[in-house]
Amino acid sequence: MLVFFKERLVLLAVPKTGTTAYHTALRDRADLVYSDPPELKHAPLYRYNRWVRPMFKKVCKAEMDIVAVMREPISWLGSWYRFRQRPFMNGKANSTSNISFDDFVLAYCQDDRPSFANVGSQAKFLEAQPNGCALSHLFRYESRDRLIGFLEDRLSTKLVLEQKNVSPKMELSISPHVEDELRRKCAPEFDLYDSIRLN
């Protein structure tokens, strides 16, 4: 999570959406940088609302705009799957090295997910809160130029991104019946992604 106080802007770090590259590029420009532990770097909206937002409201009398990135849900799961294929994960409970992508997705669809498929939810991460705390701006991961343009304009800076924390490259495919199950069980993920404005 990055906080730009003068511009009243917070950039949430949704896992597996390229936010490490944005953090690297903007950390020297930010007023507050939450980079470690992961529970703070990747604080979801509900955690920001509970712990960070009150600090700015009570101490600074400031309300911040909140910006985040969301990745297409199947691509997002594919990134997690590839990330957990890395050799050093072999033998660990979170490893996907001996699991097909279809089986990984089906495990993700379970109510009680096994550890290798327990990767959270973008929709839950970004969910508006009962007290009105909600995203101000949501961008598609696949529309990187739009987010870069927004940040450069809002922060009056030039953004140069380097690839960081990239999952191993591999071709992945999903069976039609598995995709149908994912879309049925995880409809809020697809609904939120489809709701993101493209202009």
Read off the CATH number of the domain in which 90 is found. Answer: 3.40.50
Query: The pTM is what?
Result: 0.92
Q: How many domains does the chain have?
A: 1
Nearest to 64, CA basis, from 133, 157, 138: 133
Per-residue pLDDT of the chain (199 residues; tens, 9 = 90+): 999 999 999 999 999 999 999 999 999 999 999 988 888 899 999 999 999 999 999 999 999 999 999 999 999 999 999 999 998 888 888 999 999 999 999 999 999 999 999 999 999 999 999 999 999 999 999 999 999 999 999 999 999 888 766 666 788 999 999 999 999 999 999 999 999 988 6
Q: What sections of 109-199 are H helices per DSSP?
A: 122-125, 144-155, 176-185, 187-195
3 beta partners:
10, 32
The range of the structural domain enclosing residue 57 comes to 2-195
Query: CB-based contacts of 187: which residues, under 8 Å, 6+ apart?
Result: none
